[in-house]
Amino acid sequence: DILVVLMDTSGETIAEYSYGGYDKSEAIWSAINSNDTIYITGFYYDLALDGNTEALLWSFSPTGDSLSLHTYGHPDYDFIGNKIIRAQNGDFLIAGFARDGFDEDRLLMRIAPNGELLWYEIYEGVDMAGGTTDYFRSLIELEDGNILCAGIYSLLGDYEANLVKLSSTGEVIWDELYGNIGTETFEEISLRNDTLFAAGTTSSNITSGKFDAWVMALDTAGN
């Protein structure tokens, strides 16, 4: 079930609300507060439907009342939303991944303020035996309307941190990898004073089970 907890500025719980039901699975991966409405994304699975997992856009009032629920899927994929932001024109942008069997591919969706799916794009990687893990974990919109998405990309059995610049319609402008051979991820990006900060985890030896936090400072051209 989805759990929504409302707290005051001191961290004291004001109210808790639970949403879901038998034969359903839901989870929140990201939430924003816009115009006194809480919007969340994550995934939604209902056994009574077609059996696929769908990305969700769920809105709540400040008192925890459910206002609207929209789900987005595909008959051949599971859609998972990892991060939601509000675009300058009021649209919602949701980044995550589309899963097809053992393969996970990067996913970006643009959704109108009324919840209508305007478009989605799946950015496929290189197919590998045993499957791939390619996903967007975070995103920002630039002043010119272009979008930067950050995450992870599978390459030759290893994983590298991935940063992709996209147009406002989802077309790839450039696609860059960062890190050394091993496992690097970008989990979050933030823009401050024309400097892009990308942060995640890194491990030079995946079998060691040890990971370090890392952060990179870049410009918006990916340098």
Question: pLDDT digit string (tens) for 171-198?
Answer: 999 999 998 766 889 999 999 998 999 9
Mean pLDDT within 39-44: 91
Residue with tokens 């004001």: 14
Which of residues 49 and 177 earns the better pLDDT score?
177
pLDDT tier at 218, thresholds 50, 70, 90: very high
Which of residues 211 and 59 earns the better pLDDT score?
59
Which of residues 214 and 25 earns the better pLDDT score?
214
Question: pLDDT digit string (tens) for 117-142?
Answer: 999 999 998 877 667 889 999 999 99
* Distance from C-alpha of 43 to C-alpha of 20, rounded to nearest angstrom: 12
Question: pLDDT digit string (tens) for 69-87?
Answer: 999 988 888 999 999 999 9
